[in-house]
Structure 1
């Protein structure tokens, strides 16, 4: 009895391990992806770190569906942000990666801001914007 309990526990642990490392290509198309703020016009290699305190920056998307596109909006946030800024992104490359602007950097007046990113989805399935 004890031995079968241990074997069942091992099988359950292995099943969880395989579920945890399931590849990204197994994800169904839809409201996928992550967005990050990166300092300056680029980075040495595609990194998924977030740099929220910057003077110049670009928006970098990861793990979206290949070919996906959409819009973004940056809103001034209390206590010091001001203004609203809009743009478009995409299409994402085959790896689901995109950046905006593509080759330069953006800058905003000093303050607090919040980024919202929407993906154009077929038939508008549920899912809100991604935020930073």
Structure 2
């Protein structure tokens, strides 16, 4: 029987992901920002401007959490020595123009790159554009 080589998984990166994920699950802007490099870049690829710097990211996250009620469902998660790629679905609580609540499902993809110190240097978030547009259109929100 042939021996199969074991692939080493970067546990430090996995542990960082778990801590980072807790920040998003608990809506803790301070925890999220603390895991980013001072010169971090956060880019939601929806046509909005990138957020540059840890303090700007902290403020951005606070604004997101104050504006939107959302949670997430985990899907595929891939690790490398200095990055992770995370597929997830955002469950976004919205209301139709007449006030009827609904939950929109928007598939998302995060690509996170770490610096040499193990801090998040860049986070790129790619939403499913059609699903996001349909959710906001149903809610009567112009974006």
Compute the TM-score of the two structures, normalised by the length of structure 1.
Answer: 0.35
When you count strand as a share of all residues, which structure comes out higher? 2
Structure number with greater Rg is 1
Higher relative contact order (CA closer than 8 Å, sequence separation 6+) = 1
When you count helix as a share of all residues, which structure comes out higher? 2
